[in-house]
Structure 1
Amino acid sequence: MCKPMQIDSLALGIFQSNTYFLTQDGETLIIDPGDRGQKILDFIREKELNPIGIVCTHAHLDHIISAPLIMKEYAIPCFLHEKEREVLKHLKTMCEQFHMPYHGEPKPVTWLDGRKPLKAGHFNLSYRHTPGHTPGGIILVTDTGVFTGDTIFYRSVGRTDFPGGDHEALMTSIRDQIFTLPGETILYPGHGPATSVNHEKQHNPFTAGL
């Protein structure tokens, strides 16, 4: 029988993005490795984690910038939705814009198409396509909770004024892919504290009427 999943997190960089470490049975999946790659590597060593894959909920720099460093160190795959290809092309430009280090693009990327679950090590996880913040945003669904990237936050939602953003699509994603989850489901967003489906249904001013 699998042990319960353990979730650790670091809030890093100027954007205070949440990098999550999902560990079970001696293997760790890293979710959204943001800025301060050396701090992520130091945390992995300090906790004696065994990384077996990286999942990026989307390709904005604050969720993917350190992926190449970790991939090089541990020779592990990076998973990203195929509709993020265009967003990923602008990673270097985004880094220059915010005066952040550019470590290259994560290569190779395992592109997700929505037809098969995400498999890395013993992990076999489902995910849901949630366009709106970016065209290929996803939420990662686990028994412990759902990692929502920048689709929804505690009493807020992701921005849609970046290239590829679509407010109507974001609202549809939240309504159809997040608010259809059980109310007690814990949501782990890309920024800020954890929340729940019920809490956001009741208190999020941006989703009123969904």
Structure 2
Amino acid sequence: MQVVTVVSAVFGARCSVLVDDDGSCVVVDAGAGVMDDVLALVAERDLRPAAVLATHGHVDHTWDAGRLSAALDVPVVLHAADVYRLADPFGTLGLLGSAAGPTHDPSGPLAQALVATGVDPASYTAPQRVEPFGAVDDVRSADTLLELGSLRIVARHAPGHTEGSTLYLLGALAFTGDVLFAGSVGRTDLPGGHDATMQRTLREVVATLPPETVVVPGHGPTTDIATELVHNPYLARL
């Protein structure tokens, strides 16, 4: 199995394409501007996409998910608790308060980051094919086994950054989205974030992963659990 990384120009969000030996593949976190590179990779290697996964519903990780899902004819898969974010990516970040449909704040940092890369903040397309897992009202859902093509991926609910934040586990790899970074963790001050829940996730979900687990975060460099348990101040103090 190979992991191909495409980094979005918007906040450096990290999109990972998981490619199995038989050509099956899954896209994790399709941020803004990654679609062309992902489609080129799929065509060049004659890959067979099975899904577009989202570690959580924040728009810097899902901007291209809808269009990529349509282009590849595969579903967008994420935890049920974050599905609501896909319909109103800016409003659910608290940039405009509540909103009935896709909205944007043209003066906000997210909209400015999109514009700087040539992306129109009003051009967002919500996914039409969404396959949620887990339960909306669970503080901690049970693991879900996702069988996607030849890939068997464990989805482990890890709320705190958002209600539906999820770790995707594949062998010795953990795709952590904005739950865990090298030397840091995801913020909890945005709508849907909750510090006490994040602390529980770090203690009961993240810190209990095998030390040799390789962490592929949603932003920044790859790391591993052993390193983070010693050097990440948010884990070292647990």
Q: Secondary structure at the match of 1:44?
A: helix
**Bigger radius of gyration among the two:** 2
Is 1:192 aligned with 2:220? yes
Alignment counterpart, residue 104 of structure 2, candidates 96, 108, 113: 96
Structure 2 equivalent of residue 20 of structure 1: 16
Is 1:106 aligned with 2:127? yes
Counterpart-to-counterpart distance in 2, 1:208 and 1:182: 15
Letter in 2 for 1:39: D
Structure 1 equivalent of residue 5 of structure 2: 9
Letter in 2 for 1:163: P
Counterpart-to-counterpart distance in 2, 1:21 and 1:50: 11
Alignment counterpart, residue 198 of structure 2, candidates 170, 184, 204: 170
User: Contact between 1:171 and 1:207, CA under 8 Å: does it hold in 2?
Assistant: no
Letter in 1 for 2:166: I
Post-superposition Cα deviations, 1:39-93, rounded to whole Å, max 9, x if no partner, equal 3323433444322111100010111110111111111111110011333332154
Q: Which contiguous aligned blocks of 4+ residues in structure 1 show a shift greater than 4 angstroms? A: 92-95
Q: Kindly, what percent of the aligned residue pairs are identical?
A: 32
Where does the alignment leave 5 or more consecutive residues of structure 1 unmatched?
none
Letter in 2 for 1:45: A
Structure 2 equivalent of residue 51 of structure 1: 49
Deviates more, 1:114-123 or 1:152-161: 114-123
RMSD between aligned alpha carbons? 1.7
Counterpart-to-counterpart distance in 1, 2:203 and 2:87: 29
Is 1:127 aligned with 2:158? no
Counterpart-to-counterpart distance in 2, 1:63 and 1:47: 24
Q: Secondary structure at the match of 2:31?
A: coil
Q: Secondary structure at the match of 2:160?
A: coil
* TM-score relative to the length of structure 2: 0.81
* TM-score relative to the length of structure 1: 0.91
Counterpart-to-counterpart distance in 2, 1:157 and 1:90: 25
Post-superposition Cα deviations, 1:20-46, rounded to whole Å, max 9, x if no partner, equal 011112111100010103333234334
Q: Offset of 1:14 from its aligned partner?
A: 2.2
